[in-house]
Amino acid sequence: MKLFNTLTMQKEEFVPLVPGKVGMYSCGPTVYNYIHIGNARPMIMFDALRRYFEYRGYTVTYVQNFTDIDDKIISAANGEGVSCAAHAERFIAEYFTDARGLGVRDATVHPRATENVAEIIDLISALVGKGHAYASGGDVYFRADSFEGYGKLSHQPRDALLAGARVDASEAKESAADFALWKAAKPGEPLWESPWGAGRPGWHIECSAMSCKYLGRTFDIHCGGQDLIFPHHENEIAQSEGASGQPFARYWIHNGYVNIDNRKMSKSLGNFFTVREAASEYGYGCIRMLMLMSHYRSPLNYSVDTLPQARSALERLETARENYAFLAKHGVGGGMSESERARARALGAYRDRFIGALDDDFNTADAMAVLFELVREGNTAAVAGEAVSSEFAGALLALFDELEGVFGVVSRNETAGNREIESLIAARQEARAAKDWARADNIRDKLKKMGVAIEDTPLGVKWKLAP
């Protein structure tokens, strides 16, 4: 498997630090508001990357943090007249509502900055002790010019980064490029005691401390949005390697921007959309589908047309799975036909091509195309007017579920309510086969009262909940 490493600006073969295991850290949201469409892209893409590693047999430790103390949280909490902790707790809960709706599985651990202040203070102390950081008026700053590798992730000349930095009039830095590790307490803000006085952590140091705590000083993959390369990830490297003297993350994976109607998403432009808003109109599954239909490093354009297109594509996959599941139960018995045996022998090629696409810098767009080719393969017999055997449908279903499980966009329809619907549909089919039309009609009426719309097709009965 090869991944594009932002640190080296090339595709590299992925070789884990510990054979068979992967340690991944993904920068999570600052929980001051609902997550937006831009937040959804790394959430979905790196959840899928984690699924793929697991599909290939790796044990993955996936860490995604919450920044639960920050200027934006303080401002929002003060505006609502609640504590920062209460405000953050509310939007952590809202995050999980959206994340689970998007099919994003919970991380192995979701550390919060406020729960790791002791580790943050220890890391800052190590940096002060090594001369990489200094205290000034209750604040503590990192000496950007003290770390020789500063700029190696963003691939900017070190001198240019140092010269281009800006300084706030309230800050007492040695250099404009130095950045805050610890911020002195201000009236009305949450605070913690430290060797430099009461205050709170800076943003960058939080991720360094939490990733080190849960994954070690050196780990496999650090991922996040392209907008985090500088200064956030650049500063993480400087802090972490400055303190430990060891390499930090070995592979840096960044997704591209999300644009709205070909313009960068921005509140000031009025083209800012939350996941909750989009899901209320199109559903969460369409958002996940949209993200996975593009290569993660490419810019993604979001417009009024893209989610309906994603919904249409998702419906094709859902319909295919419904057909395979039904025919696996109710198809022709007695084994496969000769043509089905030939097709079944060729199914493995789809798996090989699917893996090949994802092994090439996690190209979900090409892998998704392979999945749709498998769907067309499954439709070939029906188009030809042939009866489909239960055995062949079962083989199609198993391979579809195996590959699509990496994407996680299709519902499996396995709830107790759905099993009742499937049972009634099967009973109706038995009644029709026995030409017991009255019983078949009664079952259809019962399904209609349950809000289930059914359609008799050449592949069998399709059903969905009526709107």
Cβ–Cβ < 8 Å for 246, 65: no
Domains of the chain by start residue, with CATH: 2-255 (3.40.50.620), 306-407 (1.20.120.640), 416-465 (no CATH)
> Residues in the chain with pLDDT < 50?
414-416
Contacts of 408 (CB under 8 A, 6+ apart): 47, 48, 51, 103, 105, 288
pLDDT value for 268: 63
pLDDT value for 416: 44
* Alpha-helix residue ranges (DSSP H) falling in 384-415: 390-407
pLDDT value for 178: 95
DSSP 328: H
pLDDT value for 419: 60
pTM attached to this predicted model: 0.87
Alpha-carbon Rg for the chain, nearest whole angstrom, is 27
Give the separation between CA 306 and CA 291, rounded to whole angstroms: 10
pLDDT value for 191: 97
pLDDT value for 415: 44
Give the separation between CA 452 and CA 461, rounded to whole angstroms: 12
pLDDT value for 341: 92
SS3 for the chain is: CEEEECCCCEEEECCCCECCEEEEEECCCECCCCCEHHHHHHHHHHHHHHHHHHHCCCEEEEEECEECCCHHHHHHHHHHCCCHHHHHHHHHHHHHHHHHHCCCCCCCECCEHHHCHHHHHHHHHHHHHCCCEEEECCEEEECHHHCCCCCCCCCCCHHHHHHHCCCCCCCCCCCCCCEEEEEECCCCCCCECCCCCCEEECHHHHHHHHHHHHHCCCEEEEEEEHHHHHHHHHHHHHHHHHHHCCCCEEEEEEECCEEECCEECCCCCCCCCEHHHHHHHHCHHHHHHHHHCCCCCCCEEECCCHHHHHHHHHHHHHHHHHHHHHHHHHCECCCCCHHHHHHHHHCHHHHHHHHHHHHECCCHHHHHHHHHHHHHHHHHHHHCCCCCEHHHHHHHHHHHHHHHHHHCCCCCCCCHHHHHHHHHHHHHHHHHHCCCHHHHHHHHHHHHHCCEEEEEECCEEEEEECC
pLDDT value for 240: 98
Tokens representing 436 are 């017991």
Tokens representing 150 are 């500063």
pLDDT value for 387: 77
Read off the pLDDT of residues 27-68 as tens digits, 9 standing for 90 and up. 999 999 999 999 999 999 999 999 999 999 999 999 999 999
Q: Which amino acid is at 430?
A: E
